[in-house]
Amino acid sequence: MREMLDDKLQRFEELETQLSDPEVQGDSKKMAAVAREHGSLAKLATKYRKFQNTISEIDEVKEMAKSTDPEEREMAEDELKSLMETRETLWDELLEMTIGGEDANRSRCVMEIRAGTGGDEAALFAHNLYEMYKKHCEIKKWKFSALDSSITELGGFKEVTISIEGEGCYRELQYESGGHRVQRVPDTETKGRVHTSAATVAVLPEPEDVEIDLKPDDYEVERYAASSGPGGQHVNKTASAIRITHHATGVVVKCFEERSQHKNLAKGMRILKSKLYDHFQQQENQQRSDQRKSLVGSGDRSQRIRTYNFPENRVTDHRIGLTLYKLDQIISGSVQMLTDALVDHDRKELRSSMGALD
């Protein structure tokens, strides 16, 4: 954790320098991106800087406490006690701010929902998840917008990509990454049998423009015709669909929600940068063999994390053994009761793994 905090503070100080750089100030787009990233790091970086300063003060006062002067030694010991309490408080606050990993404080993320096994029923379940997260975002007053989707004849989603913006959105929603299973009687089932189908959710932090520097030679853009629209009775046909392929990694992104080719390209680039950031972060995490691995926040898309049982009105999160008989409320957008439990579990796990400061 200290290594991550050191990196964040270093990045914050680099951005502080860039903010006063005339070249950056002369580029409004880059200036806005730098200012946005600087702002997102400010709270954590300034808290950690204060923590470091307190550590330095403690070292100085410890030296004073070695004085042969009884009065000076007593004053130093009293000050040392106060500084140690301040250090513990700051450390607790830093732990709280870093629950969920180093990207916890991102205010923008990309969510992908894909239908898994189960055919049309799986696609309909993917649509249910889409509506659940949409309502949750409305409750949280987070901005929610579809970037890309592929719709079935019955109105389900083969896949849908969503942009979410708001304070704390990635910190909470990252725990939704994984396999979601549904057990219910489909509308098309004539004998009343319960079917099981699945969907996967991936939540990716959206990086700032200055973090992923893409040059035109790094990727290829293809334009083609495709159906678009967020669902419903009317599906638009547009010739402005975009497919972007990143040469080095093979990552492919498609976007055709907008009639404007320019808007689709802009949205597609946002998705591509999020996927590339996630790709490079996964590589970096694998290289850190000593990195804390949270079962809850692992983001493993192959892991089955949750079951939604409609006949029993039950939701079970398998990672923490939580079962709630409130499926009707949760599927209607009351996801907070789940995310609170997951964040709390991660908080306890993080505190346990870190131990005491000394």
The mean pLDDT of 302-317, rounded to a whole number, is 93
pLDDT at position 82? 93
pLDDT on residue 4: 80
Nearest to 218, CA basis, from 273, 179, 256: 273
Q: Which two tokens stand for residue 355?
A: 């131990």
Q: With beta carbons less than 8 A apart as the criterion, state whether 149 and 159 touch.
A: yes
Helix axes 70-97, 336-354, angle to 10 degrees: 140
The confidence band for 300, taking pLDDT boundaries of 50, 70 and 90, is low
8 A C-beta contact, residue 72 and residue 61: no
Contact 73, 65 (CB under 8 A): yes
What's the token pair of residue 249?
């990694």
- Average pLDDT of the chain? 85
Domains of the chain: residue spans and CATH: 2-97 (1.20.58), 108-206+293-354 (3.30.70.1660), 216-287 (3.30.160.20)
Who has greater pLDDT, 168 or 318? 318
Q: Please report, for residues 15, 18, 277, the alpha-carbon distance to residue 210 in angstroms, rounded to integers and kept in the order given.
A: 10, 11, 12
Calpha distance 211→202 (Å, rounded) = 21
d(CA 150, CA 130): 13
Whether residue 298 is predicted with pLDDT greater than 70 in this model: the reply is: no
Q: How many residues does the chain have?
A: 358
Task: Look at residue 290 in the predicted model and tell me its pLDDT.
Answer: 40
- 117 pLDDT exceeds 50? yes
Distance between CA 315 and CA 330 in Å, rounded?
8
Across 83-92, 148-157, 275-284, least confident range: 275-284
Q: What is the pTM of this model?
A: 0.73
